[in-house]
Chains A and B, each alone.
Chain A
Amino acid sequence: MTDAYIGTATGTRATTDEIKSDAPQRALGLHRELDRTWANDPGWRGQISAVNHTTLGLRFMGTALVFFAIGGILAMLIRTQLATPEGAFLDTEIYNQIFTMHGSIMMFLFAIPMLEGLAIYMLPKILGTRDLAFPRLTALGYWCYLFGGLILLFALLGGVAPREGWFMYTPLSGATYSPGINADVWLLGVTFVEISALAAAVEITVTILRQRAPGMKLTEMPLFAWYMLGTSVMMLVGFPPLILASVLLEIERAFGWPFFEVARGGDPLLWQHLFWLFGHPEVYIIFLPAAGALSTIIPVMCRTTILGYGAIVAAIVALVFLSFGLWVHHMFTVGIPHMALAFFSAASVLVAVPTAVQVFAWIGTMWKGRPDMHLPMYHIMGFFLTFVMGGLTGVMLAIVPFNWQAHDTHFVVAHLHYVLIGGFVFPMMAAAAYWMPQITGRARIKGLGEAAFWTILIGFHGTFFLMHLTGLLGMPRRIDVYPDNPEWIWLNLTSSIFGFVMTIGFALFALDLVLQAWLGPRSPRDPWRAPGLDWAMRLPPPSYNFASLPGPGRLDGGAQAAQGLARGEGLLPGAPRGRREVLVTGVGSARPELIAILPGNTALPLGLACAIGAFVLMMLSGLYWLTLPALALVAALIWVWARGMAQGHDAAPVEVAPGLSLPVHIHRHDTLGRTGTVCLLLADGTLFAALLFGVGFLSVVAPGWPPPELTGDPKLGAGLIAGLVGGLGLGAIAVRLGLRAQGNGGAVLPAAAVAFIANLAALACLIWLAVAVLDDPTRHARDALRGVLAGYAGLHALIAAGMAGYALDQARRGEIAGTRAGCMPAWRLWQDFAAVTALIAGAILIAQGSGA
């Protein structure tokens, strides 16, 4: 009976060669049918309820450009101040706010959202699917980004912006030396924005792994997808240390728990380690998507194929791993052991190798083909010139003795701008020139783009080339006046003048984009004769991307594949069931496995972002008790969110192609949601590992140890910890029994009920532990860390209880029954994770009690 709902035998085992084509239909009819299902709501409502990746990708990129303009204006204020040695244009307080905000905006509100936007817009089109894996999450990410960014902007307008520099070193950013809300604005605002980074990372990873067109093997997928996969994995692993550091510093500032304060056992270097554990991978997070664009565009511009696909993939993987092993090169002057200096120096130098492999693969591609100097190629030449120089100064800075001289000087300012503008902005401008016809359906107006390119190139090198010398002549970063150093005047004045030239160039570039979108003549369907699936559609792209999905034999057709797909000759044609359906394929082989039904338009992401925003604002205002109702609202909305996709009845298998029927996701365990949970837990596990690093680091390295004696009863503590771990472990067993019962057609309710109670009991043990055993967390860093470990376990137990409660509700409603597993596969992952982390945290708590 239930077999009817898990797909035909051929369906689940279908190899990609067997898939047949559908019969052609009328393209216009298909378009209307699909657009009814996939389009945004009309009018203003459509703006707040949109979850479509094309809309949101453009919105991310558009908003990022606005922040780029704001960051650029701040840069011009900095350059105006520095044009003369005793600039009276800004006072020091405002100047400090402005350079802090310039860096923070460019990193967190321009570069990261820009690459997210590009990936969100492009990936489904390049991979041959209709949307990202979690459309509501895309929208949530956007709203979090927007609101977090607005908090930072309003703080700037109100004169209370952060002023401690974009890396916010403690103790300068601590409560003693930064009273007021300036630092809190940074910690809370940026963390709010990071929700969007994690959301994007999760769904980019899942989309690349599970939504590639059938037959697009992992080892043969377009390089852009490889680059984005590397980026998103790095984001999943790179952002949690920053989020942890921000949370710890905010707790220290708000509640007085010491983590970075020396007098109470903290260490300011813990902040630096956590920050750069994020901060260095961040550079590659920014560079990889840009390199992905280059690997896509260069072969097209040279009318050839990429040289060294395998070597480039190997280089990406090497960069992902290496970039996490060299954060210490930002800390060469903090006084670390010399062997460590040598090791991190070598690692920092080594990271240049995979970069060099890519650069030479691109040059080899150009040799192999015939480069045409279209506009994207201008920007690519700008990239080569600028990025090679930035890379070389990077190697110089990796050499410790030179680093000791150049660190914290304008040499570093010049270097990082060569890397970021060379390695990100020039490739992004190439990408804009390349994809604007795809995005707008219009060709550009000739001449303006070239003028913008030359102005930017001249302005950029005029600003930053001589700045290397400024640094070597001893000018440190982050100073606003230099009355005693007339030898720096001509250098700074030159930088300032060319800085304004560069700004004019960027204004021309923006004007070019606007004019193209607004007045440009209609673009031909394949302006570059590019092979990718991103061109196998109408321009500008329809809401659903592909009327029928590309399959084997249609994966590199470019615009030639468009017509057949639009006529429904591919897979899963149209939207006959009025649902947003996408095809889910296997991770390595890209064999079709199931049909995922995606959610439609909803304002729920906006509501949830508002609730999170309310929490952030309550924290900022110091109204800490009012954060609790905000958190309750967040939890309630997440429940509603989950309910939105719950289904209480079976869904018939869907015919994907003649002779190939696939089950709908509710009948399968290996859903997109489960892959997404794995990604989320990877990030969560990294956060936990960063916390363990913090515990180890402070225990071993911090000056103010050993801490005072623990006062709690160790036997009671051990018993309560056993209760916590036992409760979560019992929950994990109950989930398995529940899943087995569901598989056998038995009742799931009892198992869910047992798990719910076990999780609550675990939580009760933990609260008891916190009240009766743990010492005052404000006493010493050790006690504060114990509080955080307990809080981490408690939060996970609470969420596990929430998931058990949700499963209980689903079992009661009959949503977990037969072949429908409901939330159980995802819950099982969470429950196991919560139990294992609680076990580790508990073991540490006990060991701290029995140890020295």
Chain B
Amino acid sequence: MSKDANVQGSMTKPPKQGWLYAPSPEATDNVRLAPRYELFVDGKFSAPASGKYFPTVNPSTETVIAEVADANEADVDRAVTAARRAYEQVWSKMPGKERGKYVYRIARRIQERARELAIVESLDGGKPIKESRDVDVPLAAAHFFYYAGWADKLDYALPGRRARSLGVAGQVIPWNFPLLMAAWKLAPALACGNTVVLKPAETTPLTALLLAQIIQECDLPPGVVNIVTGAGPTGAALVGHPGVDKVAFTGSTDVGKRIQRALAGTSKRLTLELGGKAANVVFADAAIDQAVEGIVNGIYFNQGHVCCAGSRLLVEESIHDVIVRKLKRRIEHLRVGDPLDKNTDVGAINSKEQLQKIRMLVESGVSEGCSIHQSHARLPGRGYFFAPTFFTGVSQSHRIAQEEIFGPVLSVLTFRTPEEAVEKANNTVYGLSAGIWTDKAAKVFWMSRRLRAGVVWGNTFNKFDPTSPFGGFKESGFGREGGAAGLLPYLEAV
């Protein structure tokens, strides 16, 4: 792939250099990372049977941070066995009240070590420190705190029925919100009385391993939480293990389908949180400047590595030009660079592979005849970076309007009537999220009823909360995380 995929040029003139921001790096001296991390199984850190380790790389510098154990089938088996024993002997017998107190402990200790976790999240994954510090880590702690309180109230989750836990949960999580996704998976599973084997993503294992330390410090009974690191084969071994009663996966739709096929014919329960291609619909009667901020937040938050990102902008034709003009100006003001700099808006792309995928899809947008608009931000010389980008002149059949790019790249389409907006918004195999911008409340609700998506943001975007269920329609998966609905994947009616 040529460097020209970062097509910076052709478009608008670069803005005049105004005042530059002095570097404002987050201090990292309170963070001590080990050179090597082992598997967390049965309450202890232990070397993998595989004897293998893989490096985890800082995507903003391309340097190795640490090496991490690569779990094979034998390691997964050991973890599932420990989880089964802990389930049968301890966790399933413990009163909900007591179980809840352990989960509260985890929440508190995450809060205590919040800054350290935020820094490691930004180091390992490339996300701006202001996001890991203000979004990922506080939400992760809040998630544990929220579900802790459910542990002794589970019968309220299934009205008219008694609830019971399922057994051992095998959970596989992605690299875009590493600690937060671990929290989304672990907190409801534990509160409901299940034990867990969790596999973090191979590019971002570190915060999950720090969480393992926290869980150890909390004196959780050994085996209740086990964390096995590795890549795809480790995940496949986990979801395919006969000792697992429930599988929860967050990741790509392609892998989700493979897991669904693999589990067909078994009694394992499954929830999937998969890809998205969310429509962010802006009507002419919207508060335009607020909408532009919402569009920017919707697509450039976390470098666009967000399954619910507002990656398709549907704008009412009459305001297309003004929105595009404002967007062009706005993206020039996004600061791209060092994730640990407190002023950074857009950090590093998570991995080299992801950067290549983004470049490939951007290239397809150019070659299919869409007009590209890109920020002139100076990208660091090292590391994986991609300038905030959007395309105009996009039609529904273009790849950049159909495929999930998972990067800071927005496709702009237009519509004339609300009916057309609904038709275009729903014209995707995905159904995770959607946005609506209008001054009319009735229109928000008219639209929200018709949009086939699990989360609909009216006059806002990318908001998350532990009390608020999140999950998809259609090929974005099934099951909800957050809120009372988030308990259901981990319970069954007696």
- Asked whether A and B interact, the reply is no
